[in-house]
Amino acid sequence: MTTKETLKRYYHYTPATFSLVAFMVALYVITAVDAMSLNNNMDSWIGVHWGTYPRVMGELPFGPLRGLGGIVLHSGITHLLFNCFMLYLLGQDLERALSSRMMYELFFVGGLGASAFIVFLAPDAFTVGASGAIFALMVVLLALRYRMGGDYRGVLTLIAINVVWTFIGSGVSIWGHLGGLVTGAVLSLVLMKAKNARAAEIGFLGVGVVAVVAIVVGSMAQTAQLGIAGWG
C-alpha cells in the first residue's frame, strides 16, 4: 500500500482525527518557516500572538481566543510528533466508537477545559500543545471501554504513565494536563448519563460553554491584575 493510499484509508475511517493532525502539522510548518527554526517556532508571529498566556489574554476582545489557539500550536517538532501520535492512537478507537463530530467536540472542549485551568492556576505560564485535550480523550476512552465491557487496562496504564510524566518531565504544563483529566472526567460522565447521541452532544456543548466563560472571566481578571486596559 502506497503512502497516498494509506492516508486516504486513514481519512476515510477517521476524518476528524486525520483533519486535526493535518491542521496541527500545517500550523507547525507555518510557524517553523516564519521563525526559521524547527525548535523555536514559537518565536513566530502566530506563536507569540496565539499561544495561551493568561496575563495578556484580557487585553483585547479576541485575547481569550489564545485559550483556543494554544490547543493546536506546538513548540518544537518533538512536541508536535508526540501529540500527533497520541491523537492518532486515541482517535482510532474514539472516532469509530462515537462519531467524527463527537471527536471534534471532545477534542476542543477537552482542550478548552485545560486552558481554563491554566488561566486560573498557571497565569504566568506561556502554554501550547494539545496535551490537555489528549488527557481528556484518554479519560473518555477509559470510560467508554469500561462501559462496553472491553479491556481498559491498556488505557489506564497509558493515563498512569502520562500522569507520572506530568510531574517528572521538564517544561510540562501540570495544570493543563490535570485540567484535561478533570474535563475528560466531566465529559465521560455526560456521555455515560446521556440517553442518546444528541443529549450527549448538548451536554458537551454545556461543558464547553462553562470552559469558555471561565477563560473569558479569568483572562479579564489576570490582565486587570497587571493594570492593563481591558475591554472597557
pLDDT in tens, 16-75: 999 999 999 999 999 999 999 999 999 999 999 999 999 889 876 788 999 999 999 999
Amino acid 185: pLDDT: 98
Half-sphere exposure of 117 (CA within 13 A, CB side): 21
Residue 28: is it exposed, middle or buried by C-beta count within 10 angstroms (0-12/13-18/19+)? buried
Residue 229 confidence class, pLDDT cut points 50, 70, 90: very low
Helix axis angle, 77-97 to 100-121, nearest 10°: 130
Q: Give residues with Cβ within 8 angstroms of 90, minimum separation 6.
A: 134, 137, 138, 141
Instruction: Map out the domains of the chain with their CATH numbers.
Output: 3-225 (1.20.1540.10)
Pairwise CA distance, residues 78 & 39, whole Å: 8
* Mean pLDDT, all residues of the chain: 93
| H or E element at residue 8 | helix 3-13
Instruction: Report pLDDT for 232.
Output: 39
Q: Which pLDDT band, with edges at 50, 70 and 90, does 227 fall under? A: low
pLDDT of residue 230: 44
Flag whether pLDDT at 228 surpasses 60: no
Q: Return the pLDDT at 60.
A: 66
Looking at residue 225, its pLDDT comes to 77
Confidence of residue 231 (pLDDT cuts 50, 70, 90): very low
Residue 169: which residues within 8 A CB-CB, separation 6 or more? none
Q: Tell me the average pLDDT across 93-115.
A: 97
What percentage of the chain carries pLDDT values higher than 70? 97
pLDDT tens-digit profile of 121-159? Answer: 999 999 999 999 999 999 999 999 999 888 999 999 999
pLDDT-based confidence at residue 184 (cuts at 50, 70, 90): very high
- Note the pLDDT of residue 219: 92
Query: Using an 8 Å Cβ cutoff, are 197 and 148 in contact?
Result: no
Identify any residues that bridge with 73 across adjacent strands, giving them in sequence order. none
